[in-house]
Amino acid sequence: MKYFFGLLVLVIAVISFTYGPNLIRLNSMLNLYNEDKISYNFINMKEIFPYTSPIKASDTPYIFETAEFELPESFKNSEGLELNMKDELTYYNTDGLIILKDGVMLYENYWNGNDISSQHISWSVAKSFLSALVGIALNDGLIESINDPITKYLDDFYGTGYEGVSIKDLLQMSSGVRFNEDYGDPESDINKFGEAVALGTPFRKFAKTLEREREPGTYNHYVSINSEMLGMLIMEVTGKTLEDYLYEKIWSQIGMESDAYYITDSVGNAMALGGLNATLRDYAKFGQLYLNKGMWEGKQIVPSEWVEASYFLDAPHVQPMAGELSANTWGYGYQWWVPGFPATDYTAAGVYNQYIYIDPVSNVVIAKTSSNYRFTSERQKSKDAHIAMFRAIARETTK
């Protein structure tokens, strides 16, 4: 019997040594969005994810000019109800807010332990950075056409759910791949993805498990792994890591003033779909770049045609309120959301209410980070409330 217990202790020790770190990370992932931890977690992702890759600050940081501005006291939501601005910022657990007008910073404020140096997780706001890199690679001739099938560049995806899917289908979230993106559902695909990452599964391996359910290019359905495919595309055609290409083409070019980092998988590939962590000022800078049609201090960084195409909705299934052609209320461009009605403003958006909002009419950019633990139960309500809030702020800047 003593030999049995000795063997049992040995087996437990081996399992703990081999799998213990992964199990600890998995536990951290499962508690990532808890009300009492979420604000801290969102600016300390390095403590939860074991693999990250740095992006250094620009050697020539750009500092915004500043001016005074008072937030409007209230705004009307999509149902016409008058809401107090400060109360709503508190309700949605706002971590940071920056407002730019004509490239001048009118407002900057932080809450919940955040400050100007906080590297806040972007979640799906990172997808809009990724879109810019696709446009740059296309302009540089590294991608022949966005109508090309992704397997032209990633030939190991023949025989998977991504065979026959074009780059444009990926950009417009119209791949036809089956995927449940509900963060509030423990059995959803996006949560299975998080668990797989915590246990060391490479992103590429996970993507190959997904299956087709619809004809590509016919239905708008949000699948974050589509963006991961675009990240793999960038790495393939450039021969560089995503973070190195981002630094070369954007970060160093527009004066990003702080270091940033990507969460990566166990083999070092960036989580393109939402793993970028950066400061709010640098998120705002990226918004200003798009407001400027990709131009920065006289230099074209992102092709202007790509910027305009990114929020031009060219098919019925990507329009706002597309009905049976879309699973989404908002419209969707090249990894940018178009709330619609009117369809003149657009936004990068991430879960738990991360935003880079752009209004070309009023020349306003709003960058907002949040740790809204209520998000999964109030997803569309919170999204619509933020657009109403941003539009009210944009109108206030014109008075």
DSSP one-letter string for 48-61:
T-S-EEEEPPPSS-
Strands 337-338 and 331-332 turn out to be antiparallel
Is 264 strand, coil or helix? strand
* 169-211 tens-digit pLDDT: 999 999 999 999 888 888 899 988 888 877 889 999 999 999 9
Strand order in the sheet with 52-55: 52-55, 260-263, 276-278, 120-121
Separation CA 286–CA 365 (nearest Å) = 9
Angular region, 120: left φ>0, alpha ψ -120 to 50, beta rest: beta
Please, which contacts does 339-345 make with residues 24 or more away whose CB atoms are closer than 8 Å?
339/384, 339/387, 343/313, 345/387, 345/390, 345/391, 345/394
Residue 40 has pLDDT above 70, yes or no: yes
Which is nearest to 127 in space by CA: 360, 332, 370? 332
Which is nearest to 162 in space by CA: 180, 175, 179, 181? 175
Strands 52-55 and 74-76 turn out to be unpaired
CA torsion, ordered 134, 138, 141, 144, to nearest 10 deg: 110
* 122-135 tens-digit pLDDT: 999 999 999 999 99
* 311-359 tens-digit pLDDT: 999 999 999 999 999 999 999 999 999 999 998 999 999 999 999 999 9
Cβ atoms of 104 and 62 within 8 Å: the answer is no
Residue 213's identity, in one-letter code, is: E
Separation CA 200–CA 196 (nearest Å) = 6
Q: Give the length of the chain.
A: 399
What pLDDT is attached to residue 29? 62
What pLDDT is attached to residue 11? 40
Residue 16 has pLDDT above 60, yes or no: no
Separation CA 63–CA 105 (nearest Å) = 9
Separation CA 317–CA 43 (nearest Å) = 36
In percent, the amount of the chain with pLDDT more than 90 equals 84
Q: How many CB atoms lie within 10 A of CB 61?
A: 14
Mean pLDDT calculated for residue range 360-381: 97
What the chain holds in terms of domains, given with CATH numbers, is 1-32 (no CATH), 50-397 (3.40.710.10)
* pTM for the structure as a whole: 0.92
